[in-house]
Structure 1
Amino acid sequence: MPPRSGSNWGEQSQAEFGPWRCHWRRLGSKQSPALVLLHGFGAASGHWRDNAADFEAAGFCVYAIDLLGFGQSDQPSIKLDNRIWSLQLQKFLIEVVQGPAVLVGNSLGALVALTTAVFAPELVVAVVAAPLPDPTLIQPLPLRRSPWKRKLERFLVNSIARLLPLGPLIALLRQPALLRLGIGSAYSNPARINQELVKLIQQPARRSGAPGALAGMVRGMALRPGAATAPQLLPRLSCPLLLLWGKQDRLVPVQISKKILAYIPKNRCDLELIEGIGHCFHDEDPERFNQLVLNWLKAGNISA
């Protein structure tokens, strides 16, 4: 039997996405409705260490993937943004899951889930975003940008990505003391920041492809077209959405959640603000997170 908890949970395997290998894991029967867990920036599928078993016990076949550049997936130096990660997820849903699924995402994973629900709605039953970050929710991109302005933006972003000393920076930040400090900014509950969590985030940063992948993320996320940003994706969302936001989130302030509600009809979005929780609700208080998600799915009669 595969482990049901801890960062090594689930039966693990590899899938292909173009020329790259992508790591994924599963817990539960393939005949059960599918639920896919999507990690946040800097994390990996192991970050759902105390979530998968509860969802499996509730009757779901639980999957999780490492997005390109993270975890045990390949770290290409191409431009990486939520469109590429969404294509990775779509291929995974078609070839591995072989059908639609409920998508549960933390932070960057929530943006990938939203992107997939808009670009491939036939593959997504519902989205749980905990929380949903995107800098364009603070400063939306203009609907039209002149060609010269787009060229200037590309030049500046590519120059910055080339000049940034990402290798030495990653080497510095992956030191345990600094890494714990960084993780602490995302957690309101320091008791959850243990050696298992530090190792989970530290290991991918030690790989040789980490600087190139990070540079690709800088380029990709900064140069996305407006159609791939949350303000333009949210009005096109057709499936139910649950937003879960920690009131003590220091990385993506809770005020952003109110901006999201302005982009989407209220009958398609439920918002829960959680007291005493930071940026990683699913890992800070997994029991409460799991129950909230399962109650919402049950109330909406939602399954894959």
Structure 2
Amino acid sequence: MAATVQPAPPPAADCSSGAEWGIHADWLWRGERCHWRVLGEENAPALVLVHGFAAGSGHWRRNAAVLAAAGWRVYGIDLIGFGASSQPSLRLDNRLWARQLQAFLEQVVQGPAVLVGHSLGGLVALSCAVFFPQLVRAVVAAPLPDPTLLLAGSSSPPRRRPWQRRLQRWLVTLLCQLLPLELLVPLIAHSPLLDLGIQSAYSEAVIGDRDLHRLIARPARRPGAVRALRAMSIAMALRPHGATAPALLRRLGRPLLLIWGQRDRLVPVQVAQQVRRLRPELPLTVLPGSGHCPHDEHADAFNAALLQWLDQLPAAETLSGPGR
């Protein structure tokens, strides 16, 4: 299905940098509208930027232009439920987003790509690389969040009986339905609490950054935000073991770079050590002084580390799967 190009919102100066970077477009997937953008030469190798929780493709405002200037065709996608994409009550978990990414690579990018994900986007990129390896050249997770990584050294959980799975599903659904999200989400989205939440992801002061506030606030204030958040909370809590980060890491057959902020309070750098207990050979870059958003907070150091690693990747032709 062809992507339908929509005019981009008016940029402050040009569309090569800032939160409105790139040429914006919409693409229909399974009846849901998906927003995406692109920057760079058409025949350059593809790189897809996948945002984290509560953000959108605009969060790569300090990276896309640098990557494009380095010779990459840079795409940014808004995952279903986030950014300017649809906010349905589907089962929103990393399996569904990996399928969205698979279709995006097949129908829009039309070939394999390097996937660079921030936080939740890193988990989605990892999932896509495991489930659809022919479409993924390599993965960057900056960082890689998943509560199951705290148990990375333990053995696989015992198989639950059908009644146990039904009981868990019922309890999780009930608890998520009882959460007063209809009150909490608008309260946070329209008050200084949102700025405090954003600040928790950064080491340096960002309160007063209007572009950052706007790109987080817009999706949170849309009518479907509560519906999508509740659907995601249920689906992520009920994922099968095979969709958790430890299981995915064990199956991964593509290069993976980990980038972590030294001062990340949301996903502490100790989690990276848990990842490396599973895959000791994985390269890890820790950015001093950075919080949970190293790509935005210390963009120069992030871009340099990323480009240095990308330069070492094998050529796309050496990988199996469709070529560009």
**If the length of structure 1 is used for normalisation, what is the TM-score?**
0.96
The secondary structure found in structure 2 opposite 1:149 is helix
Amino acid at match of 1:78: L
1:297 aligned to 2:310?
Answer: yes
Alignment equivalent of 1:132, drawn from 131, 144, 148: 144
Please list every run of at least 4 consecutive aligned residues from structure 1 whose deviation after the TM superposition is greater than 3 angstroms.
300-304
Q: 1:206 aligns with which of 221, 235, 239?
A: 221
C-alpha separation between the residues in 2 aligned to 1:191 and 1:116?
Answer: 32
Query: Which of 261, 274, 287 is the aligned partner of 1:274?
Result: 287
Tell me which of 62, 68, 76 is aligned to 2:80. Answer: 68
Matched, 1:28 2:40: yes
Q: Which residue of 2 aligns with 1:181?
A: 196
Counterpart in the other structure of 1:257: 272
Q: Distance in 2 between matches of 1:169 and 1:176?
A: 11
Check conservation: 2:199, 2:207, Cα contact below 8 A: no
Residue among 106, 109, 116 paired with 1:104:
116
> How many equivalent residue pairs?
302
Is residue 2:77 matched to residue 1:55? Answer: no
AA aligned to 2:32 is: W
Match of 1:11 in 2: 23
Spell out, residue by residue over 1:244-278, the C-alpha distance to the aligned partner (whole angstroms, 9 max, x if none).
11110000111110110121251xx2111221011
SS at match of 1:103: strand
Q: Is contact 2:122-2:141 (8 Å) kept?
A: yes
Residues 2 and 11, structure 1, Cα contact 8 Å, conserved in 2: no
Asked if the contact 1:136/1:231 (under 8 Å) is kept, the reply is yes
Residue 163 of structure 1: aligned partner? 178
Could you tell me which runs of 5 or more consecutive residues in structure 2 were left unpaired when the two chains were aligned: 1-12, 317-323
1:145-177 Cα offsets, whole Å, 9 max, x none, are 111111111001111121111111001111341
**Contact 2:287–2:302 under 8 Å retained in 1:** no
Instruction: Flag the 1:192–1:288 CA change in 2: closer, same or farther, 3 A.
Output: farther
| Closer, same or farther: CA 168–25 of 1 in aligned 2, 3 Å | same
Matched, 1:150 2:131: no
Contact 1:6 1:46 (8 Å CA) reproduced? yes
- How much does 1:193 deviate? 5.7
Q: 2: distance between equivalents of 1:37 and 1:117?
A: 14
The correspondence for 1:224, drawn from 212, 233, 239, is 239
Q: For the residues of structure 1 that align with 2:208 and 2:116, how far apart are their CA atoms? A: 22
User: Are the aligned partners of 1:143 and 1:226 in contact in 2 as well (CA < 8 Å)?
Assistant: no
2-side partners of 1:100 and 1:217: how far apart? Answer: 27
Q: How far apart, CA to CA, are the structure 2 residues paired with 1:102 and 1:247?
A: 24
The question of whether the paired residues in 1 share the 8 Å contact of 2:285 and 2:305 is answered with no
Indicate the RMSD between aligned Cα atoms, in angstroms. 1.5
| In structure 2, distance between residues paired with 1:270 and 1:242 | 5
CA contact (8 A) 1:282 1:290 kept: yes
- Look up the match of 1:288: 301
Instruction: Using the aligned pairs only, state the percent identity.
Output: 55
Residue 235 of structure 1: aligned partner: 250
In 1, the alpha carbon distance for the partners of 2:192 and 2:212 equals 13
